[in-house]
Structure 1
Amino acid sequence: MPFNDDEYDDGRSGGLVAKQGAGDNAAPLSISEISAILKRTVEDRFGFVRLRGELSGVKRAASGHLYCALKDDKAVIDGVMWRGGAQRLAFRPEDGIEVIATGKLTTYPGRSKYQIVIETMEIAGEGALLALLEKLRARLASEGLFAPERKRALPFLPGVIGVVTSPTGAVIRDILHRLADRFPSRVLVWPVLVQGEGAASQVANAVRGFSAIAPGGPVPRPDVVIVARGGGSIEDLWSFNEEAVVRAVAESAIPVISAVGHETDTTLCDYAADRRAPTPTAAAEMAVPVRGELMAQLDEFALRKRRSVVRPIVLGRERLEARVQRLPRPEAILAAKAQKLDELSDRLRRGLQDQERAKRERLGQTAAKLSLPLLRQRVSASSERLERAGLTRIVLDRRLERARAAVAPIDRVLPQLDPRLPLQRGYALVTTPEGKALTSRERAAQETALVLEFRDGKLPVTTGSGGEGHSPPPTPPPPARKPVRVKAPESRQGDLF
């Protein structure tokens, strides 16, 4: 039986030309129309959803919009976050972070895809937050921001202390109270938000602002900066884990003390700071010493100084007393000498007495020989011997007169023989520097220095080179004087001896 297509045409089988079947009142829809219908349907049905998933393919466009994908182990959905919402995020989205995104589902007709328009995004639980924190810590540590060699010593006694914290919280009151108790100091407070949106940027700007203050300006530059906040959960303290805050603390030109949270709380700001304080009160204690302890220490130093000055005197006195005790007594030193002196005095007295006795005996013996009759006898004997020898007074006077007469001519001639007498008439006496008289030119030429003696004094001269080629011709010596002979008077009487 032949096959007839018309018998089996129910209006749904494809034909060459589209035909509207019997009872079919649905007009065909365009792609745009069905895309719009799907968009309205999805947005009406899923106008508010909360999705939990892992971020993937995070990308920020130049316009500020954030594009990403949320995925789990079986599915993936694209997501977009407009610029306004992306700027309000409390953390920096990165691949691998598990988050909870809140928004609405919509479609993208241009690619026939559906996606979620994210309005808010939060990290999914404390575990995910800690994972993000550890990942950020490892990345910053690899850059050397937490290296121990970057840490700087705190000033011993800062004149100005900068505090970055909330001006209305209890933290600033605790710090000021503790500083007043320990060592009153000047404090500059930079008010910031310590929690919530914009807190991280304000803290980072405050730390950089303190470093930007010029020394010696109208606003004093702090010597140390305290970044402080009270305790709280990890979400409350998250602003101090932001990369901007960590980099600002690490790059600070002023030493920084991090006092964020309580003793058990740890933030990345603590790693980057030069010192970490368990509490804000402990940060104030680290910043300044105790004034009372310093005063007591100064008093102790003054006491030690006085002791160090007096100690050598005391030791010297003790050593002197010890040496004095070992020295013998003056009486013991002089006892032997005094005894010897007494002995010598006694011997001297006895010796003088013996000498006196002996002299007295000799004097007595001599006196016995010097009696007057004996002396007269000896004088008479001596007179007789003189007369026999012809040595009477008259004879001696005559001989003395004859001697005077013989010496008188010599006495008259002797002044004429004085070698310095011609000096009065203009002559000079030539001698060596030693005073030896020179009588010839040859002898004088051998000397390098001469002395010319005139009537009124001496004149030292030099002979020059001493060569004979330049010397004047020798002058003939004056004729020798004939010696004057003094005729002695005739002796009238012979010599007695």
Structure 2
Amino acid sequence: MSSFFENDSPTNLAEYSVSELSGSIKHTVESAFDQVRVRGEISGYRGPHSSGHAYFSLKDDRARIDAVIWKGTFSRLKFRPEEGMEVIATGKVTTFPGSSKYQIVIETLEPAGAGALMALLEERKRKLGAEGLFDADRKRRLPFMPKVIGVVTSPTGAVIRDILHRISDRFPVHVVVWPVKVQGDGSGDDVANAIRGFNEFVPGGPLPRPDVLIVARGGGSLEDLWSFNDEVVVRAAAASEIPLISAVGHETDWTLIDYAADVRAPTPTGAAEMAVPVKAELEAQLASLAARLQGGVGRQMDQRRQAVRALLRALPSLDQLLALPRRRFDEAAAGLGRGLELNTLNKRRAFERIGSHLRPDVLSNRIVERRQMLSERMSRAERTVERMIDRARARIGRADAVFATLPLRLAAQTGRARDHLGNLSRHADTAIRHQLVRARGELVAQERVLQSLSYKNVLKRGYAVVRDEADRPVSLAAALATGAAISIEFADGRIGAVTGDGSAAPSPAAPPAVEPQQKKRAAKPTDAADPPKQGSLF
């Protein structure tokens, strides 16, 4: 057996350690596959790891290979990997000696043709459309004459010059430009941050808040315009509180921001034309409206003037209007003197008629009558007061009589109440004694029942209770191990014991420890009246 492990036979094979063999395989694989392009479908992608690296797999219908994108490379990618996306990855194949696996370290990543991009674009369009970001009822109208326009575009391209030139020609307003990258890595985040930044401007703040936004870029291929298909850009455009015009590419170029924007312009120049009206046209229209207004006012004044002349012709003259009032005035003036004379004569006659009744004897008679009436009323009042005083005195007398007999009545009522209270107290004592007797009898009966149910009565018949070390009753022998300390409770006390294996019967020469107690119980004289007890089961 020992010769099997001995290497006595000579051999030319070199001996490698595991690390040397793994390193050699790693060097061989990296040398043979230093730069490869692999086409496959992304599988198991869950986004970048907390370290910034991305781990996933590339697969086709027959094989699968692990892939990794280091943090520095991931930040420079033009496209972000997505689950199920078919891509072409460029990189080198290496091994991981720790687990005997190989993987491809990706340096560049691109979609596998325009068809893959279009499929990804349609899937993203369907997803965002299902969320309601493209609904027509959420789109707002552009302001007719904005005071400030915000432009999100590259500051170095021809797009910003075309927009500024067109706005200056049509209607010069204040333009705020937010410079961003419109192509390449990070361009989508720049555009989304610019849209959100404009929306965070405070009205009346140090920077004027735009009334309308223009997101613009020149034409290009699908890959060049891909930043405006980024989900973060579409969500920022849909969440913008400021009306937004999308002007990305040419008229035939469509991106997802065009669906989320409030208005899509075919070109950046067209976006500038949509944002502001033509000042010269407005001035001409205003002049035309002013001329029409002035002509209408003139015609209206002429019509009103003719209507007033027609009404003046229909009105009577001043003499005709005043003829009847003048006549009534003259008649009233003529009869005024005669009316004053008549009124004075009538007043004098009425005064004389009233004066004839004012004689001294009539006044004396009235004074006497009034004095007699006053005397009668005073005498009636005195008699009324005297009757009221008599009635009050009578009531006071009756009250005095009642108060005089009040102590006697109170004493009688107090005696009756004291007798009644004594009777109630005697009844209560009797009821309490009866209740205590009943309660004592019930307690004695319950004590007898409790004693009859107590296990100690069973112990008196010769049984015992076995308890373990935790003082818990043991009902089965299998619950005790050999050599366990137990206690056995009899009717007159407890003893300690140790369990055995039960293989040998106890020797007659060695009586159990309970023997002295049994002898002690046997030495006691038994009462002849006690019934015979059941023998021990042990």
- What is the aligned partner in structure 2 of residue 81 from structure 1? 69
Q: Secondary structure at the match of 1:58?
A: coil
Whether 1:310 aligns to 2:281 is no
Structure 1 runs not aligned, ≥5 long: 1-13, 328-428, 446-462, 472-497
Per-residue deviation, 1:150: 2.4
CA distance in 2, matches of 1:222, 1:441: 106
Post-superposition CA distance 1:266-294 (Å, at most 9, x none): 11111221211110001001110111111
- What is the aligned partner in structure 2 of residue 272 from structure 1? 260
Q: Secondary structure at the match of 2:206?
A: coil
The change in CA–CA distance for 1:435 and 1:310 in structure 2 (over 3 A counts) is farther
CA distance in 1, matches of 2:360, 2:290: 90
Whether 1:136 aligns to 2:124 is yes
From 284, 300, 306, the equivalent of 1:296 is 284
Whether 1:196 aligns to 2:184 is yes
From 175, 182, 187, the equivalent of 2:175 is 187
Whether 1:217 aligns to 2:217 is no
Greater alpha carbon shift after TM alignment, 434-443 vs 185-194: 434-443
CA distance in 1, matches of 2:218, 2:273: 16
- What is the aligned partner in structure 1 of residue 17 from structure 2? 30
From 29, 44, 67, the equivalent of 2:31 is 44
Contact 1:91 1:242 in 2 (8 A): no
Q: TM-score, normalised by structure 2?
A: 0.57
Whether 1:114 aligns to 2:33 is no
Per-residue deviation, 1:470: 5.5
CA distance in 2, matches of 1:297, 1:434: 93
Structure 2 runs not aligned, ≥5 long: 315-347, 376-538
From 135, 157, 177, the equivalent of 1:147 is 135
Contact 1:432 1:438 in 2 (8 A): no
The change in CA–CA distance for 1:267 and 1:432 in structure 2 (over 3 A counts) is farther
- What is the aligned partner in structure 1 of residue 241 from structure 2? 253
- What is the aligned partner in structure 2 of residue 386 from structure 1? none
Per-residue deviation, 1:32: 2.8
- What is the aligned partner in structure 1 of residue 44 from structure 2? 57
CA distance in 1, matches of 2:162, 2:32: 54
Q: As a proportion of its length, which structure holds more helix?
A: 2
What amino acid sits opposite 1:128 in the alignment?
A
Q: Secondary structure at the match of 1:233?
A: coil
- What is the aligned partner in structure 2 of residue 438 from structure 1? 357
Contact 2:79 2:109 in 1 (8 A): no
CA distance in 2, matches of 1:24, 1:276: 80
What amino acid sits opposite 1:199 in the alignment?
S
Contact 2:75 2:185 in 1 (8 A): no
- What is the aligned partner in structure 2 of residue 171 from structure 1? 159
CA distance in 2, matches of 1:434, 1:316: 70
The change in CA–CA distance for 1:316 and 1:47 in structure 2 (over 3 A counts) is same
CA distance in 1, matches of 2:296, 2:11: 119
What amino acid sits opposite 1:86 in the alignment?
F
Greater alpha carbon shift after TM alignment, 150-159 vs 299-308: 299-308
Q: Secondary structure at the match of 2:151?
A: strand
- What is the aligned partner in structure 1 of residue 55 from structure 2? 67
The change in CA–CA distance for 1:319 and 1:98 in structure 2 (over 3 A counts) is same
What amino acid sits opposite 1:46 in the alignment?
F
Per-residue deviation, 1:217: 2.3
What amino acid sits opposite 1:147 in the alignment?
D
- What is the aligned partner in structure 2 of residue 476 from structure 1? none
Whether 1:231 aligns to 2:150 is no
Contact 2:41 2:84 in 1 (8 A): yes
The change in CA–CA distance for 1:111 and 1:310 in structure 2 (over 3 A counts) is same
Q: Secondary structure at the match of 2:284?
A: helix
What amino acid sits opposite 2:357 in the alignment?
L
CA distance in 1, matches of 2:171, 2:50: 52
CA distance in 2, matches of 1:182, 1:270: 24
Per-residue deviation, 1:234: 0.6
Q: TM-score, normalised by structure 1?
A: 0.61
CA distance in 2, matches of 1:46, 1:79: 14
The change in CA–CA distance for 1:233 and 1:468 in structure 2 (over 3 A counts) is farther
Post-superposition CA distance 1:2-55 (Å, at most 9, x none): xxxxxxxxxxxx997234464412144333332222111111100110001111
Structure (1 or 2) with the larger CA radius of gyration: 1
The change in CA–CA distance for 1:467 and 1:320 in structure 2 (over 3 A counts) is farther
From 273, 293, 316, the equivalent of 1:285 is 273
What amino acid sits opposite 1:40 in the alignment?
H
Post-superposition CA distance 1:210-235 (Å, at most 9, x none): 22222222222221111110000011
What amino acid sits opposite 1:251 in the alignment?
A
Identity %: 58
What amino acid sits opposite 1:438 in the alignment?
H
